[in-house]
Amino acid sequence: MTGPRRPESVLVVVYTDGLDVLLLKRIEPFSFWQSVTGSLDPGESAADTALRELREETGLAGEGHLTDTGLSRVFTIDPRWLHKYPPGITENREYEWHYRLPGCIDITADPDEHSAWGWFPIEEAINRVWSWTNREALEQLRDLHA
């Protein structure tokens, strides 16, 4: 994508029937753990973005079941990313998606974006993720399956 980022994105929580969660360790602008994320391109739907980001960041493309949770959260854009958005934009709307797999499988992480990946029990995943939106999505997933 060229030009400023659209202030809308997806968060795709990849998890198993046993509530193990896939996390990716981001490289820039600093090192942190997260679920699959990505901004919507111009003219792209949240569903298309979720599928595209899942493929780009993990290589997954049909092994599991993708679901729109119908949830979204608005967050203040971290100052380290503000330069990627149009002037004056300070908030982003993030749409939550789930990708459920029967069990843990190997993925192919994008080495330009991520330095590591792993499957973690949901409590450990909650404690590892950097963003509050990711943490809240994982807590709600845990509570839904309690």
Q: What is the pLDDT of residues 57-85, one digit of tens each?
A: 999 998 999 999 999 999 999 999 999 99
The predicted structure's pLDDT at residue 1 = 54
Domain boundaries, the chain: 8-144
* CATH architecture, domain defined by 8-144: Alpha-Beta Complex (3.90)
Residue pLDDT, tens place only, 38-47 = 999 999 999 9
Model confidence band, residue 87 (pLDDT cutoffs 50, 70, 90): very high
pLDDT (mean) for 26-32: 93
The predicted structure's pLDDT at residue 146 = 82
Alpha-carbon distances of 108 from 55, 61, 98, 118, rounded to whole Å: 9, 11, 19, 11
Predicted TM-score (pTM) of the model is: 0.96
Tokens of 45: 């739907």
pLDDT (mean) for 87-103: 97
Nearest to 25 by CA among 99, 105, 118: 118
The predicted structure's pLDDT at residue 3 = 81
Rounded Cα distance between 16 and 20, Å, is: 5
pLDDT > 70 fraction of the chain, expressed in percent and rounded: 99
Q: Report the mean per-residue pLDDT for the chain.
A: 96
